[in-house]
Chain A
Amino acid sequence: MTRTVLSALLSHWRRRPFQFVTLILGLALATALWSGVQAINAEARKSYGDAASVLGGGGLSELVATNGGPIAPETYVALRRAGWLVSPVIDGWLPGDPGRVRLLGMDPLTAPRDGAARDAIFNSGASGFLGADGVLLAAPATAERLAGLGDRIRVVDGLAPGIAFADLASAAALLEVDGYSRLLLLPDQPLIQQPLAAIARDLIVEKPATADDLGRLTDSFHLNLTAFGLLSFAVGLFIVNGAVGLAFEQRRPVFRTLRALGVTSAQLVALLTIELLIFAIIAGAIGIALGYVIAAALLPDVAATLRGLYGASVEGTLTLSPLWWASGIAIAVLGTALASATGLWRVARLQPLAAAQPRAWAMASDRSMRAQLGLAVLCLLIAVAAGVFGGSLQSGFVLLGGLLLAAALALPSVLSALVSVAARLSRGVVTEWFWADTRQQLPGLSLALMALLLALAANIGVGTMVESFRLTFTGWLDQRLASELYVTAEDDAQVPALLAYLEPRTDAILPIWSVEREVLGAPGEIFGVVDHPTYRENWPMLSAAPDVWDRLAAGDGALVNEQLARREGLSVGDDITMPGGWVISVLGVYSDYGNPLRQVIIPNAVLVMRYPEAERRDFGLRLPRSDVDDLKRDLVEEFGLHEDNMVDQAAIKAFSLSIFERTFAVTGALNVLTLAVAGIAILTSLLTLASMRLPQLAPVWALGMTRRTLGRIELIRALVLAALTFVLSIPVGLALAWVLLAVINVEAFGWRLPMYLFPADWLRLGGLSLIAAALAGLWPARRLATRPPADLIRVFAHER
């Protein structure tokens, strides 16, 4: 019996292939966007995980210097000789093409026995690994980026991406360091040890931080992607919900007959569930394949972003795990369940003799609209609560999500109210009927319109955020990159001669000396500057003490970047404890967009005194812009300086902006995809409504309106609804932008950006949404205009 009933149910889809395509398409699109984003995130996280397991020795604690500096080999040996099982690591960066490649110097002799890095070394059969001229191991993609090192690179499959491994001695030689970055503390320590303080007073035990930091830094980025994936998924579910609901309503006579023939309601629901499950699996598989295409297309951009913005290593290749397939199918099934829950519920309660009312599907009562409005208010309250009491990235996203959901849920009520007002204001019978009919159609279209609202609001919000960011960022770059040319000496020995040569050829030489240290517990940079008008005139200060530059020059305090100030709640006048334990007060806070690290600026003299090991080979040069090329050429000739050692302002700007563009390329792509899905939602809603609307349109036609007029009115209705939705999406989008700029960005990156409005972009988007609605409305309208009268007459002739 099951098979007979099932085939009776399935025959519906044979007769309505379009509905079938709609259902599958909606579900597949939803799954595709969701699983595509998930694949990207998973790939990135896997990369972090791989990196974490080698960098942190798989979650081992570490000994680090309290001043964040290198650890002397003597200290390491003293620890080993005192019974401390520790393993040294040298951690640094090699120039790669493209980007930098992390170099990890390991001691395979003392490394944790089950550590990933040691396994890699021992399993790779790498003879010639030990020693200062030993080989470097790297994954194939990473090895390609290090082609400059020639045959010192040995390719090993399965190594963490973006990281090269070398013996401690090799790393020390390549990076020109003579101390260790940190000491891994092995999990099993021997019975008898001297106290740490008795051997190495300046070392402290620390939980592994490197990978976690990366995770935290990139969290916002992944949340961003996830939010978009979720949004697209929701939009896709709107389509599915529409298709399933309609299919159920249209089959009510069949259900009724089946019930009358003795099929129980439980059997019917079970069979419909099986039917939907089959569809979900088919659509899920298609969606996953599509998702793979999306992910593969977007991953290179994502990888470039993560590398450029966060220094995180993600290779641009995608690996498919069975888990990913499974979760894709699962989300498709879950989505189907969600989208068809109400339909199944109604079937379960269907009375065998109840009349079919396809119109009822399109007509929601005022009560349900009020309930939805109530839900919207609730969402809004939750969002506001998250905004007021939150203070974390997660609460920021709750605020964001609540706001969007509230807006979407409130949309039908708001549109209904607007249409009622329009109806009341309208004169003329056709307009009156137009508005009344529009209002009547709202429930059937509301899901699609909600999808459109979300897509448009996301577009406006993200667009405003990106454009505000771009405007701020480029302005800031112009200020910040005041020097015309940046030069790095080949080595310390070259510096004096270089300075002597540059002195007469430049207006000013600004040393840019720095050390990388943990500042108040997180990775940071400490820069030294000299007192020069360049800084006074250009440095982008957000807040500052009076005479800040005079006082800085006098060694009275330090400048901190906005990220550090926000994270630690610092303001001008506060004291901060610097690495090494000394205290200095904050003289000013400056904006530092695009930098994931904390930053402190102190006078050069102080930097050199406190951190003698500071890198002192970088200089900013002020000179007439027209002289830059000549000077670069001469430096190559005179000093054999490598091209890479000289970067002019324009090149840095171009590079920074390219990172910026890539960061938001993915967002932009997802934005467009979401809008496209919303367009499809409108189209499918209109098309499904069209077939149900004949009984409503036929009398109007019979009373003396041409089909062409009716078609035109249908098209205008789609446009009017899209336009109204678009207008409503502007405030929602701006609220979204505000949340992104003032809440999410602050939590995620530590900087707050001013918000700029771009009405021209809105107009463009408005035009776009009207075009989308027109495209979506054109086909149903045309079908109506050319409908044979016989179809319309049938309305009067047949019992429905």
Chain B
Amino acid sequence: MNARALLVTLVLALGAEAAGAQGFAGLGVTEDGFALPDPNARFAYPDDHGAHPEFRIEWWYVTANLSGPDGTAYGVQWTLFRNALKPGGADSDQVWMGHAAISQPGGHLVAERLARGGIGQAGVVADPFHAFIDEWNIEGPSLSSVRIFAQGTDFAYDLDLKADAPFVPQGQNGYSVKSDSGQASHYFSQPFYRVSGVLTLPSGPVAVTGQGWLDREWSSQPLAETQTGWDWVSLHLDSGAKLMGYRLRDAAGDDYTVGTWIEPDGTPTPLAPGEIVLTPGKTARVAERSVPVAWRVEVPGREVDVTLAAIYPDSWMPTLVPYWEGPVRLSGSHPGVGFLEMTGYE
């Protein structure tokens, strides 16, 4: 899910000179001094739940497909991005950004926060786990059992997330390659959260339950220079299996599409380029641009052929760097729910 890394660089709007010609929001630039992902490294929990400031970018990314007592579907997002302004890992050189959103029938609800590092306004502690920016928190004894809170001017949510399954390394043992030329990140997920809690909507509080998905990823240089945006999906199949896939769109020609098939017990199988196909379907006008809100996802080796339809096509994030992020419903060979993220649609 390196795609989101690009968002982090919105912070570099402060240094936006790098943006523009060279990839989306400047991540294609090689910069000396930051640590590079190591294919031989293995995750160590709970340490790797905390920050890796020697890397340039990093995020804690939670999405949840929820439903209310009347069966209404909701989508929830809680994200914390870290971006280092310069190498060295000093707290004061970090800039933090939080995004929170609820997709719901009454319209997409969004809030965004920014904070400088080193003063205690935002940060992450690995154990006991605590990620925060301003009054937003993901807090729990461990990352397998957390309470998440975020709010904006017109909404708030307070949810419990619990998972029994292990964390799932993406790519080759957590080394996730982003292009043919070798850009990569460290990437693991927790796709098995059971979620319950309360959404405070403009129309009033709603009790909700559902499933959640956490992504943890860090890197220093995850995109090829010609890659212009991506489409990413995380799917909860009714069968209990999970599927992650993304397509990196390339201005130079071939898109780069990979994924991971995750068994109900958490066993991951990487899907190499060609083993998973993402095909955009009909589009919708959102925020004065055309965005595909239906997708076909095929994993021929698993006999998966599903159609994704955005539950709320207006799930647009009008943040500093804008993107689309919202819940989807699956139909076809494997019914279920999931989340779709699309960036780089101008």
* A-B contact number at CB 8 A: 76
What residues of B have a CB within 8 angstroms of the CB of A74 in the complex?
A: 120
Q: Is B152 an interface residue (CB 8 A)?
A: yes
A82 near B115 (CB under 8 angstroms)?
no
What residues of B have a CB within 8 angstroms of the CB of A128 in the complex?
A: 15
Shortest beta-carbon distance, B166 to chain A, in Å? 32
Q: How many Å lie between the Cα of A107 and that of B118 in the bound state? A: 14
Q: Is B93 an interface residue (CB 8 A)?
A: yes
A82, A110, A191 — most chain B CB neighbours (10 Å): A191
Shortest beta-carbon distance, B145 to chain A, in Å? 22
180-227 of chain A: CB within 8 A of chain B = 188-192
Shortest beta-carbon distance, A172 to chain B, in Å? 11
A131 near B93 (CB under 8 angstroms)?
yes
What residues of A have a CB within 8 angstroms of the CB of B44 in the complex?
A: none
Q: How many Å lie between the Cα of A189 and that of B95 in the bound state? A: 22
Q: How many Å lie between the Cα of A74 and that of B121 in the bound state? A: 9
What residues of A have a CB within 8 angstroms of the CB of B154 in the complex?
A: 191
User: CB within 8 A of B15: which of A80, A107, A127, A192?
Assistant: A127
A127 near B200 (CB under 8 angstroms)?
no
Report the count of interface residues on A (CB-CB < 8 A).
Answer: 30
Q: Is A122 an interface residue (CB 8 A)?
A: yes
Q: How many Å lie between the Cα of A107 and that of B121 in the bound state? A: 12
B121, B132, B151, B153 — most chain A CB neighbours (10 Å): B121
Q: Is A130 an interface residue (CB 8 A)?
A: yes
115-169 of chain A: CB within 8 A of chain B = 121-122, 125-132, 168-169
B92 near A169 (CB under 8 angstroms)?
yes
Shortest beta-carbon distance, B133 to chain A, in Å? 9
73-87 of chain A: CB within 8 A of chain B = 73-74, 76-77, 80-83, 85
Q: Is B16 an interface residue (CB 8 A)?
A: yes
Q: Is A108 an interface residue (CB 8 A)?
A: yes
Q: How many Å lie between the Cα of A76 and that of B92 in the bound state? A: 16
What residues of B have a CB within 8 angstroms of the CB of A83 in the complex?
A: 134-135, 151
Q: Is B147 an interface residue (CB 8 A)?
A: no
Q: Is A425 an interface residue (CB 8 A)?
A: no
Q: How many Å lie between the Cα of A407 and that of B240 in the bound state? A: 97
Q: Is A109 an interface residue (CB 8 A)?
A: yes
Shortest beta-carbon distance, B116 to chain A, in Å? 6
B12, B115, B134, B200 — most chain A CB neighbours (10 Å): B134
B14 near A129 (CB under 8 angstroms)?
yes
144-198 of chain B: CB within 8 A of chain A = 151-156
B15, B18, B135, B154 — most chain A CB neighbours (10 Å): B135
On whether A127 and B153 interact (CB within 8 A), knowing A109-B116, A190-B111, the answer reads: no
What residues of B have a CB within 8 angstroms of the CB of A121 in the complex?
A: 14
52-111 of chain A: CB within 8 A of chain B = 73-74, 76-77, 80-83, 85, 107-110
What residues of B have a CB within 8 angstroms of the CB of A130 in the complex?
A: 14, 85, 95, 116
B134 near A81 (CB under 8 angstroms)?
yes
Q: Is B13 an interface residue (CB 8 A)?
A: yes
A188 near B153 (CB under 8 angstroms)?
yes
Q: How many Å lie between the Cα of A663 and that of B11 in the bound state? A: 47
* Chain B 108-123 per-residue mask, 1 if CB under 8 angstroms from chain A, else 0: 0001001110011100
On whether A191 and B200 interact (CB within 8 A), knowing A109-B114, A121-B14, A129-B14, the answer reads: yes
B153 near A77 (CB under 8 angstroms)?
no
On whether A190 and B14 interact (CB within 8 A), knowing A80-B135, A109-B115, the answer reads: no
On whether A192 and B151 interact (CB within 8 A), knowing A77-B120, A109-B115, the answer reads: yes
A127 near B156 (CB under 8 angstroms)?
no
9-24 of chain B: CB within 8 A of chain A = 11-18
User: CB within 8 A of A80: which of B16, B17, B115, B152?
Assistant: B115
B116 near A191 (CB under 8 angstroms)?
no
B85 near A131 (CB under 8 angstroms)?
yes
Shortest beta-carbon distance, A136 to chain B, in Å? 14
What residues of A have a CB within 8 angstroms of the CB of B120 in the complex?
A: 74, 77, 81
Shortest beta-carbon distance, A63 to chain B, in Å? 15
Name the CB-closest residue of B to A111: B114
* Chain B 1-45 per-residue mask, 1 if CB under 8 angstroms from chain A, else 0: 000000000011111111000000000000000000000000000
Q: How many Å lie between the Cα of A298 and that of B56 in the bound state? A: 55
User: CB within 8 A of B156: which of A73, A82, A131, A192?
Assistant: A192
Shortest beta-carbon distance, A421 to chain B, in Å? 80
On whether A190 and B152 interact (CB within 8 A), knowing A126-B14, A130-B95, the answer reads: yes
Shortest beta-carbon distance, A765 to chain B, in Å? 61
720-736 of chain A: CB within 8 A of chain B = none
B14 near A191 (CB under 8 angstroms)?
no
On whether A190 and B92 interact (CB within 8 A), knowing A122-B14, A127-B17, the answer reads: no
Name the CB-closest residue of B to A82: B135
Q: How many Å lie between the Cα of A31 and that of B25 in the bound state? A: 55
A131 near B92 (CB under 8 angstroms)?
yes
On whether A191 and B15 interact (CB within 8 A), knowing A109-B116, A130-B95, the answer reads: no
Shortest beta-carbon distance, A120 to chain B, in Å? 12
Q: How many Å lie between the Cα of A342 and that of B266 in the bound state? A: 97
Name the CB-closest residue of A to B118: A169
B135 near A127 (CB under 8 angstroms)?
no
A80 near B134 (CB under 8 angstroms)?
yes
B115 near A110 (CB under 8 angstroms)?
yes
What residues of A have a CB within 8 angstroms of the CB of B135 in the complex?
A: 80-83, 190, 192
What residues of A have a CB within 8 angstroms of the CB of B16 in the complex?
A: 122, 125, 127
What residues of A have a CB within 8 angstroms of the CB of B85 in the complex?
A: 130-131
On whether A122 and B152 interact (CB within 8 A), knowing A80-B134, A81-B135, A109-B114, the answer reads: no
Q: How many Å lie between the Cα of A107 and that of B116 in the bound state? A: 8
On whether A73 and B115 interact (CB within 8 A), knowing A83-B134, A109-B95, A122-B14, the answer reads: no
Shortest beta-carbon distance, A559 to chain B, in Å? 40
User: CB within 8 A of B155: which of A80, A108, A132, A191?
Assistant: A191
What residues of B have a CB within 8 angstroms of the CB of A81 in the complex?
A: 120-121, 132, 134-135
What residues of B have a CB within 8 angstroms of the CB of A80 in the complex?
A: 115, 121, 134-135
Shortest beta-carbon distance, A527 to chain B, in Å? 33
What residues of B have a CB within 8 angstroms of the CB of A126 in the complex?
A: 14
Q: How many Å lie between the Cα of A122 and that of B10 in the bound state? A: 11
Name the CB-closest residue of B to A109: B114
Q: How many Å lie between the Cα of A121 and that of B156 in the bound state? A: 31
What residues of B have a CB within 8 angstroms of the CB of A107 in the complex?
A: 116
B134 near A108 (CB under 8 angstroms)?
no
Q: How many Å lie between the Cα of A110 and that of B132 in the bound state? A: 15
What residues of A have a CB within 8 angstroms of the CB of B116 in the complex?
A: 107, 109, 130, 168-169
73-119 of chain B: CB within 8 A of chain A = 85-86, 92-93, 95, 111, 114-116, 119
User: CB within 8 A of B151: which of A73, A125, A191?
Assistant: A191
B18, B85, B200 — most chain A CB neighbours (10 Å): B85
What residues of B have a CB within 8 angstroms of the CB of A127 in the complex?
A: 12, 14-18
Q: How many Å lie between the Cα of A109 and that of B95 in the bound state? A: 9
Shortest beta-carbon distance, B125 to chain A, in Å? 14
A191 near B17 (CB under 8 angstroms)?
no
User: CB within 8 A of A73: which of B15, B119, B134?
Assistant: B119
Q: How many Å lie between the Cα of A169 and that of B116 in the bound state? A: 10
Q: How many Å lie between the Cα of A482 and that of B200 in the bound state? A: 68
What residues of B have a CB within 8 angstroms of the CB of A191 in the complex?
A: 151-156, 200
Shortest beta-carbon distance, A134 to chain B, in Å? 9
Shortest beta-carbon distance, A106 to chain B, in Å? 11
What residues of B have a CB within 8 angstroms of the CB of A132 in the complex?
A: 92
Q: Which 4 A-B pairs have the closest CB atoms?
A: A127-B15, A109-B114, A83-B135, A188-B153
Given contacts A129-B14, A190-B153, 8 further A-B contacts (CB under 8 A): A109-B11, A110-B115, A127-B14, A130-B116, A188-B153, A190-B135, A190-B156, A191-B154
The contact sample of 19 A-B pairs, CB cut-off 8 A, is: A77-B119, A77-B120, A80-B115, A80-B121, A81-B134, A82-B135, A83-B134, A109-B11, A110-B114, A125-B17, A127-B12, A127-B18, A128-B15, A129-B14, A130-B14, A190-B135, A190-B151, A190-B152, A191-B153
